[in-house]
Chain A
Amino acid sequence: MANNQHEKEAFRGTGGLLLTLGIELVLYALIMAIFLDHGGTTLIIDVILAAAAIVYFKRNHALADKISATLAANRKAAWIGVIVLLLAVPFVLQASAYWLFIVITAGLFMMACLGLNIQLGSTGMMNLAGAAFQAFGAYTAGLLALNYGLPTWLTLLAGALVTGLFSILLFIPVLKTKGHYLALVTIAFQFMVVILVENMEWTGGPQGLKNIPLMNFFGYSFNEPLNLGFITLHKYANYYYFTLLLLFALGIAAHRIYHSWVGVTAATIRDDEVAAQTNGVQVNKWKLTLFVLGNCFIGLSGAFYSHMVGFISPPNFAFDKSLVMVSIVILGGMDNVLGIILGAFLLIILPEKLRFIQDYRFMIYGIVLIVMLIFQPRGLLPFVPRSYAELIQRYRHKLLQGKKAQGGQEA
């Protein structure tokens, strides 16, 4: 039924396909131009264009609906387009490794925020200790690699899992407190962790850990330029592609969790714990599970960071970073996987371009957050109702095939 609707309202056939790819290409060009432009002119032009587009489409709902229907109808092509364009990023940014690095950093924030979103967005558990959990992942990976020479794949995995395990420590207070108190407890935890790391000897104290081995998978070192035969990309391209791979995997996992019973359960706990309990939900068990799961994502991003930069110290995991993570989730859209991508782009990449506002960065975050919470508390992206269409379609298909097979046997 949904498909018929798309066909009715969408631009059809090749036109629709070209429109889809065209939109992607134009958006991509506008974004890449921001990086390539040494000044800020492109950014200003883009902001004006974006504002104009928003105003225009607010007035022209019909066209906006038609375009989104077209995108939906050409979903496969749209995804292929997105993947190709994302794969091309290191080529486009060949001359500016710095921006590639920033893009990877944003990717790591996305990774962490996918986890934070499971906690805050889906289940309603405020976690202002994101950076502290990143520290768990980063130090675990760093120490294991430095002291025991473990391979990267294992230290990354350990970084994620150890962070998940340690988050059980914070969990007892998480269970006993709610709302603002929970926020305070996680802030306290954040400061405790940083102070501990700063004052313990085996974490390297204020100097942190140096010379952490960079990523190396089964003999392939990420520290060498990426030689593709026809072109040699900067060594960051290795990290970029790996981030992309992880983000796709984690993004799909998060998306699937959202569209499942786990998503329903989490949302019910968030919206009404009493209703959840009286419907048989073991609220504490689920909160613990999802809190740990979210922190595994965050820990992984920390472990990744330590193996990319090779040097970590307490200021890398300070409170302001936790604030940025929460801001990304709130800005992009609570309980919305795509919103995380948008939020990280707006809060990590854009400010990097706006160097002149660096000093006011946190003030601007604050203003953005306050404005969002007042006018658009569910985030920039609209709420996505959980859809079971894909799963149901899948099962119906299986049923039909089963019947056909049976019919064949009988005949």
Chain B
Amino acid sequence: MNNNKILYTQDLSIHFGGLVAVDRVNIEVQRNTILGLIGPNGSGKTTIFNMLTGLYIPTGGNFFFEGESLLGKPPYEIARKGIARTFQSSRLCLDLSVLDNVFIGMHPRQKHWLTSAVFRRSALAEEVYQAYEKAMHLLNIFNPELVKRSSEPAGRLPQIDRRRVEICRAMAMSPKLLLLDEPSAGMTPEEITELMNDIRKVQQESEDITIIIVEHVMSVIRTITDHVVVLNFGRKIAEGTFHEISHNPEVREAYLGKRG
């Protein structure tokens, strides 16, 4: 049973000066499921992602990935353990080619560096070839058009394709846990439908992948998540299936209070 929890947090907390952004949050994520993380703006969702990826150091509590505490580990080490993410406001390198953006996701696995680059080109060639095939395969899953445009700067792509490339970059790491921060931000309803298909493709593509998704669009949460955690003012106020939490009065109040 325990083995099925890929990630759990223990009273995870962080404050910025006097502001308690995340307050003793306990989350459990079962392996190979999709967890939805929702809550009004400013409720601490992105901050939790930042702690899970090592960008912020929690001021209290702990978190465990595959049974091991990753508290205080630097971001690169956490990434190498198998946690990949996308960002709420896209963090692609817009001047670099689509391909380069995907390649950086394979960084931890690459073996041929300076000496190979200069002196042993044939050793590097094999690695580049394999990386290229993998990148093209990933891009093709999301949108065949991306394969054609793979050597263009990422900045020339429309918004939805940029998100896709960012997800490809994360998938290029072959992560065990994928954190998606509001992937549908700024998309039209049709694009959101496409995006949901994309996320399903991600799941099918990999045998062992767990996803945590932060999302405002409830249709996405309803359709793809197995379990939902609701935050408000940095605290977990409810969790359960989408059906359960959507009938929870406290959740309704949190949302209506904000939106109404």
Contact = CB atoms under 8 A, between A and B. Distances in A.
Contacts of A392: 125, 128-129, 132
Nearest to B95: A271
Given A253-B118, A261-B103, A383 B95 contact: yes
A276 B125 CA distance: 23
Contact of B107 (A271, A281, A391): A281
Given A391-B128, A391-B129, A278 B122 contact: no
B96 A281 contact: no
Main secondary structure of the interface of B (DSSP, over half): helix
Interface string B144-167: 000000011100000000000000
Interface in A354-397: 383, 385-388, 391-392, 394-396
A123 interface: no
B76 interface: yes
Interface string A254-294: 00110111101101100110111111111100000100010
A333 to B, nearest CB: 13
Given A385-B151, A391-B129, A277 B79 contact: yes
Given A256-B117, A260-B124, A395-B129, A385 B93 contact: no
Which has the most chain A C-beta neighbours within 10 Å: B97, B125, B126? B125
A256 B113 contact: no
B107 A279 contact: yes
A210 interface: no
Contacts of A293: 114
B100 A277 contact: no
Give the interface size bracket for A toward B: 35 or more
Given A277-B55, A279-B173, A264 B125 contact: no
Interface of A: 253, 256-257, 259-262, 264-265, 267-268, 271-272, 274-283, 289, 293, 383, 385-388, 391-392, 394-396, 398
23 contacts: A260-B112, A261-B124, A262-B117, A264-B100, A264-B104, A264-B107, A267-B93, A267-B96, A268-B93, A274-B87, A275-B87, A275-B93, A276-B104, A277-B75, A279-B79, A279-B108, A280-B76, A280-B173, A387-B151, A388-B128, A391-B121, A395-B126, A395-B129
Interface of B: 53-55, 74-76, 79-80, 84-85, 87, 91-97, 99-100, 103-105, 107-108, 110, 112-114, 116-118, 121-122, 124-129, 132, 151-153, 169, 173
Given A264-B104, A267-B95, 19 more contacts: A253-B118, A256-B117, A257-B118, A260-B113, A261-B113, A268-B93, A268-B100, A275-B93, A277-B55, A279-B169, A280-B80, A280-B173, A383-B95, A385-B151, A385-B153, A386-B100, A392-B129, A395-B126, A398-B125
